[in-house]
């Protein structure tokens, strides 16, 4: 038999894992944006000069993070160059991942070499580890959701730094130390887990190259500085989902991530045959890896400890977040167990006994379950993001065809709304203003902390007025075939007995100006300041209405001298009052008094007990209001 | 160096699909004739604008739950302004509702005309059928307000008020 040329073998070694990844995630190139992506894509709209660029790059966001490379620069550059084309984002994510797989295979091969019968076997183990890793529970999200690119890029920084460390140990060439430090320091602009790298380097030295241990200590300095800045200088979010908790949930959180790593299918829906397969195989895979580790330790080989340590150390930063269990968090840690498994499988297959059969069976279970889960997630993500893409592109096209017109969307369901409506995707297109057709806002579940559904609400009366004046188009987005139904919808509105009702006012939206009294100031950025007193007009109270809802914001300057009291009255009768103490958005509800029922119209008066004066502004400024509604 | 070349090659292979272009989505206007439908299949997403209020999202691509009061807008078929038409609401009372609330009475009004109640004493599929006088069908659209006397209030398992399951509602010539 003719031997395979070494060049072909080398090419196969480098290409196998990326090609496998491409086969698994071929649809990734067609996936569009979703949710948080739109917040990042909108970052470029905030950049006008050097000062705003620095703010955009370094102001802490979300849970108090400053990932200026993997989130800020990444989205700023790509959205500026490619706007809403997701393909370059996907290509970048895949290219980074291919580099990760190549480095993972190379590192695995180096760590395992001399522990197997020959270089071919250690290469096979490294390659197998890379393939197992691309099947990890976090890979689908990391590769197909642009907001998760930080995991992908951080893995590259870590692997490049560690690869350079191995090469430095092998060759003693100082350029490898420079590469390690460059990748390591860059990693702090990518993802916070980079702080664990010095411990990885130290653990490796302890397990494999003890003479190099003290050389790892300088790596601790940047980590310590980063941690100090992160904990003491960056304000933290109060959102419950990101609340750090060192409590009895730590072990269960660790167990949860371990299960997802051993059987990625367990990160999906907790039911069905595939889930059962995962529930059975996960403990078996875990037991097999432990047995392999024990066998190697018995032979005084500590490399398996390094692999397990990799998994645990990179999980440590996320273990205190029990309310934010997310599959993509295992992307980096899972590589440790992938190396261990690749080595164990090659070692078992070499033995040709029952161990080989068991190893192959467990590998097949992991492979099949992961493949299924990746497909499931990919299909889900594709369907959701593609539907949203069609809606956004259709709204963009309609806005360009009808300049200055608002767009009313009919057929927005909970899935579509939850795909990103609350992350403001429409500010990225030419649309003047986007609404959901009246009443459809009641069929979606909006997150109040993201502003609720209010920005999309319009009354039937205002909708019809805008359509009749040629200032609005209606798109039916209930299916992927979007239709302009402006005429038909206007016909339906014209016959709606509720058309004359005025139960809602968005004071920041000029469309509602007709319901506002004279004292309101000009709308600014979707809201409107009031002086000491202002009025809003409503229809008479509908039989089903029970409460008055008021949403607004008390700016810090007015609270500097103490709380502010808001008093509301309807047609001269007091409805209620509230004291605002903190400079946050408020959402107030007041029961409607029976004495107001039967009045043909309600004139709502809002009165404050004080106003403020800002330098250079001679207005009496009270509070900023958003919406009033009678429900 | 070899590794860097390999990584670059792999990255280039991955970028090859970038050469393709995708046509951007655009709304279609051909079907917008400004005409409402006389018969509404509640599962038809394009007919949803005629389900004015009181309907929940489509389930199983076939039906929708309603609240106690729900409203549908229909286009009177041609000739109905002279001869009247027949209203037909096809619905079901699921066992889970019937077992809890018992017999249910359904009624409807259109343009001030009370079409009269009907009581349903068993669970299952049924229909509410009424003749609608010509006087109530003048114009391009008629708004039908339906009401059911009983419903399942919001609970822990389902936080919606649930009355009946509707599949179609329509006006046909007598």
What digits encode the pLDDT tens for the residues A122-140?
A: 889 999 999 999 999 999 9
pLDDT tens for A545-559 read: 788 989 888 888 888
List of chain B residues whose C-beta atoms are within 8 Å of the C-beta of residue A494: 141
- Inter-chain residue contact B7 with A98, CB threshold 8 Å: yes
Taking a C-beta distance cutoff of 8 angstroms, is the pair A584, A553 a contact? yes
Beta carbons within 8 Å of A213's beta carbon, 6+ residues apart: A202, A205, A206
Note the pLDDT tens digit of each residue in A76-127.
999 999 999 999 999 999 999 999 999 999 999 999 987 777 778 888 999 9
Mutate to test the interface with B, among A107, A475, A476 (most CBs of B within 10 A): A476
Quick check: A381 and A140 in contact, CB under 8 A? yes
DSSP letter, residue A569: E
What proportion of chain A, given as a percentage, has pLDDT over 70?
Answer: 98
H-type alpha helices, A428-509? 460-468, 486-494
Of B28, B49, B57, the CB nearest to A488: B49
Contact A495 B28 (CB under 8 A): no
Q: In this predicted structure, what is the pLDDT of residue B22?
A: 64
Ramachandran sector of residue A109 (left: φ over 0; alpha: ψ -120 to 50; beta: rest): alpha
pLDDT of residue A416: 93
Collapse the DSSP code of B131 into the 3-class scheme (helix H, G, I; strand E, B; otherwise coil) and give the result. strand
- ipTM value for the complex: 0.78
Within 8 A by CB and 6+ apart from A225, the residues are none
End-to-end CA distance of chain A: 82
Q: What pLDDT score was predicted for residue A75?
A: 95
Match 């000009």 to its residue by tokens.
A522
**pLDDT of B6 higher than 70:** no
Q: Choose from B25, B65, B66, B147 for mutation: most chain A CBs within 10 A.
A: B25
Whether the pLDDT of residue B7 is over 70: the answer is no
Q: Which helix (H) or strand (E) holds A541?
A: none
Could B49 and A487 be called an inter-chain contact, meaning their C-beta atoms sit closer than 8 Å?
no
Q: How far apart are CA A295 and CA A297, in angstroms?
A: 6
Residue extents of the structural domains in chain B: 39-173
Whether CATH 3.30.70 fits B39-173: no
Burial-class residue B69 by CB neighbours within 10 Å (0-12, 13-18, 19+). Answer: middle
CA dist B135 → A335, A361, A501, B128 (Å): 75, 76, 26, 20
Q: In degrees, to the nearest 5, what angle opens at C-alpha A241 toward C-alphas A236 and A244? A: 55
Alpha-carbon distance A341 to A286, whole Å?
10
Indicate whether B14 pLDDT > 70.
no
Q: What is the pLDDT of residues A579-614, one digit of tens each?
A: 988 877 888 889 988 888 888 888 999 999 988 888
Burial class (CB in 10 A: 0-12, 13-18, 19+), A117: exposed
Flag if B14 and A91 touch (Cβ within 8 Å): yes
Residue A550: both structure tokens together: 């008021």
What's chain A's average pLDDT? Answer: 89
Distance CA(A33)–CA(A481), nearest Å, equals 19
């Amino acid at each position: 038999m003719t031997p395979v040329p070494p060049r072909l073998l080398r090419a196969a070694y480098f290409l196998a894992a990326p090609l496998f990844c491409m086969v698994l995630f071929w649809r990734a190139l067609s996936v569009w944006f979703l949710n948080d992506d739109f917040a990042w894509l909108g970052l470029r709209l905030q950049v006008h000069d050097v000062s705003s660029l620095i703010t955009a790059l370094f102001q802490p966001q979300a849970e108090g993070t400053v990932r200026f490379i993997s989130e800020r620069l990444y989205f700023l550059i790509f959205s500026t160059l490619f706007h809403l084309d997701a393909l370059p984002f996907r290509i970048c994510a895949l290219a980074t991942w291919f580099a990760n797989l190549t480095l993972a295979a190379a590192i695995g091969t180096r760590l395992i070499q001399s522990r197997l019968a020959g270089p071919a076997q250690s290469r096979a183990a490294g390659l197998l580890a890379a393939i197992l890793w691309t099947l990890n529970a976090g890979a689908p999200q990391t590769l197909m959701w642009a907001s998760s690119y930080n995991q992908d890029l951080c893995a590259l920084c870590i692997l490049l730094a560690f690869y350079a460390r191995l090469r430095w140990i092998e060759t003693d060439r100082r350029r490898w130390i420079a590469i390690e430090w460059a990748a390591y320091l860059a990693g702090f602009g990518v993802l916070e887990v980079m702080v664990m790298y010095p411990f990885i380097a130290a653990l490796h030295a302890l397990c494999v190259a003890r003479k190099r241990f003290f050389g790892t200590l300088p790596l601790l300095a940047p980590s310590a500085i980063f941690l100090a800045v992160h904990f003491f200088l960056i304000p933290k979010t109060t959102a419950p989902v990101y609340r750090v908790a060192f409590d009895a949930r730590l072990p269960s959180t660790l167990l949860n991530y371990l299960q997802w790593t051993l059987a990625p299918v367990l990160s999906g829906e907790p039911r069905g045959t595939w889930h059962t397969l995962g529930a059975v195989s996960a403990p078996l895979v875990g037991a097999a890896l432990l047995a392999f580790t024990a066998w190697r330790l018995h032979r005084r080989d500590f490399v398996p400890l390094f692999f397990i340590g990799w998994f645990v150390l990179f999980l440590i930063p996320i273990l205190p977040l029990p309310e934010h269990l997310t599959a993509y968090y295992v992307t980096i840690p899972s590589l440790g167990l992938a190396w261990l498994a690749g080595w164990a499988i090659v070692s078992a297959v070499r033995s040709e006994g029952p161990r080989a059969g068991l190893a192959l069976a467990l590998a097949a279970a992991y492979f099949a379950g992961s493949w299924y889960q990746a497909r499931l997630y990919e299909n889900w993500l594709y369907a959701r993001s593609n539907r949203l893409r069609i809606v956004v592109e259709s709204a963009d096209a309609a806005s360009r065809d009808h300049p200055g017109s608002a767009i009313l969307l009919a057929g927005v369901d909970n899935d579509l709304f939850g795909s990103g409506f609350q992350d403001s995707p429409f500010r990225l297109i030419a649309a003047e203003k986007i609404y959901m057709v009246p009443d459809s806002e009641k069929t979606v579940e909006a997150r109040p902390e993201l502003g609720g559904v209010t920005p999309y609400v319009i009354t039937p009366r205002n909708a019809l007025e805008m359509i009749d004046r040629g200032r609005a188009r209606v798109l039916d987005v209930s299916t992927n075939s979007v239709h302009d139904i402006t005429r038909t919808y206007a016909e339906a509105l014209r016959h709606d007995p509720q058309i004359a009702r005025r139960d809602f006012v968005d004071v920041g939206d000029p469309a509602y100006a007709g319901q506002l009294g004279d004292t309101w100031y000009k709308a600014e950025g979707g809201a409107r300041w009031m002086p000491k007193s202002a009025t809003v007009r409503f229809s008479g109270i509908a039989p089903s209405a029970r409460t008055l809802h008021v949403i607004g914001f008390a700016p810090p300057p007015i609270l500097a001298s103490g709380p502010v009291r808001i008093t509301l009255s309807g047609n001269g009768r007091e409805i209620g009052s509230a004291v605002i103490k903190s400079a946050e958005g408020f959402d107030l509800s007041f029961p409607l008094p029976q004495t107001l029922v039967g009045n043909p119209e309600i004139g709502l008066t809002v009165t404050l007990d004080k106003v403020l004066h800002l330098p250079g502004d001679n207005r009496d400024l009270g509070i900023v209001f958003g919406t009033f509604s009678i429900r | 160096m070899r590794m860097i070349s390999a990584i670059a090659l792999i990255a280039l292979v991955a970028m090859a699909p970038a050469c393709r272009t995708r046509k951007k989505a655009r709304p279609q206007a051909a079907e917008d004739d400004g005409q409402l439908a006389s018969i509404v299949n509640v599962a038809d997403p394009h007919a949803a604008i005629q389900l004015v209020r009181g309907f929940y999202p489509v389930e199983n691509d076939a039906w929708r739950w309603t609240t106690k009061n729900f409203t549908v807008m229909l286009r009177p078929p041609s000739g109905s302004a002279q001869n009247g038409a027949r209203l037909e609401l096809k619905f079901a009372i699921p066992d889970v509702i019937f077992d809890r609330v018992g017999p249910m009475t359904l009624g409807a009004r259109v343009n001030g005309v009370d079409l009269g109640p009907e009581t349903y004493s068993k669970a299952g599929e049924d229909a509410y059928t009424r003749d609608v006088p010509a006087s109530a069908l003048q114009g391009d659209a008629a708004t039908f307000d339906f009401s059911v006397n009983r419903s399942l209030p919001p609970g822990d398992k389902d936080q919606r008020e649930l009355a009946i399951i509707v599949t179609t509602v329509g006006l046909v010539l007598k």
